[in-house]
Amino acid sequence: MSSYKRRFGDRKDGRLIRSLPAFNRFIPYIMPTRNDACNHYEESFEISVLDKRLRELRVEGYKGIGLLHFLIAVHIRGISMLPGLNRFVAGRRVYAANDIAIVMTVKRSLSIDATETTIKVHFQPTDTIFDVYRKLNEKIEEVKADEGNNNTEDVAEALCKAPRFLLRFALQLLRIGDYFGILPEALTEASPFHGSMIITDLGSLRIGPIYHHIYNFGTLPVFIAFGSKYTKYEVNRHGMVEKKKYVDLKLVSDERICDGHYYAQFLQAYRYMFQHPEIVEAPPTRVVEDIY
């Protein structure tokens, strides 16, 4: 990306992919919104090896490192191998995102009346689980320490002070600006609807995952939800009963950014890394760049 020079048709947050086949460029006109193009996927991942490794890392001093950090690291590593997962559709065109921006919702405490906010953390395709741990924890601590609003809440509060007809008009202007890619960078950075992936840890609430819709406004192409860990007793091929741990994950994705075979490769890589968690502890030996 360092040698790439921005061209007419690119956006501030992504470059237009010009070499896509005609059918792939036509699909956003058939399915103009993300809700039109939602694919739903669920899988139960066996995490016995991963759970043991995360416990070891906590003993080594990475306090609180867990499934959330691992899943974000896995998604980043998947993008480093399969960069088409970091595309988005805007203005009925397909773009390659300039960076990896992960969005999540954070409650300032676990009390029922505690306020919640969204955070956005930027990553590089070379980042490891330790980079994720550091960057995510820094952002979360920053939010929890600040009792005031962050940028996202400030923007929402300013908009909600307007009369309803002005608010609707302002939102329409934002949609038009987003369609043509002319929204100010400060606004898209504050927006929880612009990014590479949004993730929610429902295991922290002791419930299972849900299929969460992806938003028509913004650029987010993937929403991941995962639930609580649970134990199963299974009979192995030797006839012995084994205790195994699992976690359920549900993924909602925009099918317009890449085809089913591409997503399948990504999910196979996901499954492999659950059994070999050490992979995300070191940077990738090679980063694949998306097509032009």
Which pLDDT tens digit goes with each residue over 92-131? 999 999 999 999 987 766 666 666 788 999 999 999 999 9
pLDDT confidence of residue 75: 97
pLDDT of residue 248 exceeding 90, the answer is: yes
The pTM of the full predicted model, rounded to 2 decimals, is 0.91
Residue 143 · residue 114 · CB < 8 Å: no
pLDDT confidence of residue 116: 72
pLDDT confidence of residue 143: 78
pLDDT confidence of residue 70: 97
Does residue 90 sit in helix, strand or coil?
Answer: strand
pLDDT of residue 28 exceeding 60, the answer is: yes
Other C-beta atoms closer than 10 Å to the C-beta of 89 total 21
pLDDT confidence of residue 167: 85
Q: Which pLDDT band, with edges at 50, 70 and 90, does 150 fall under?
A: low
> If we measure between CA atoms, which residue out of 27, 82, 34 comes closest to residue 291?
82
- Mean pLDDT for the stretch of residues 42-55: 96
Q: Which pLDDT band, with edges at 50, 70 and 90, does 176 fall under?
A: very high
- Mean pLDDT for the stretch of residues 170-176: 92
pLDDT of residue 4 exceeding 90, the answer is: no
Mean pLDDT (the chain) is 91
Angle at 218 between CA 165 and CA 179, to 5 degrees: 75
CA distance 13 to 178: 11
Which pLDDT tens digit goes with each residue over 186-212? 889 989 999 999 999 998 888 899 999
Residue 36: which residues within 8 A CB-CB, separation 6 or more?
30
CATH of 31-151+193-281, one of 3.30.559.10, 1.20.1260.10, 1.10.760.10, 3.20.20.70: 3.30.559.10
Q: Where are the domains of the chain?
A: 31-151+193-281
Which pLDDT tens digit goes with each residue over 217-237? 999 999 999 999 999 998 888
Pairing of strands 100-107, 93-97: unpaired
Exposure string for 148-175, b = 16+ CB within 10 A, e = fewer? eebebeebbeeeeeeeeeeeeeeeeebe
Higher pLDDT, 140 or 97: 97
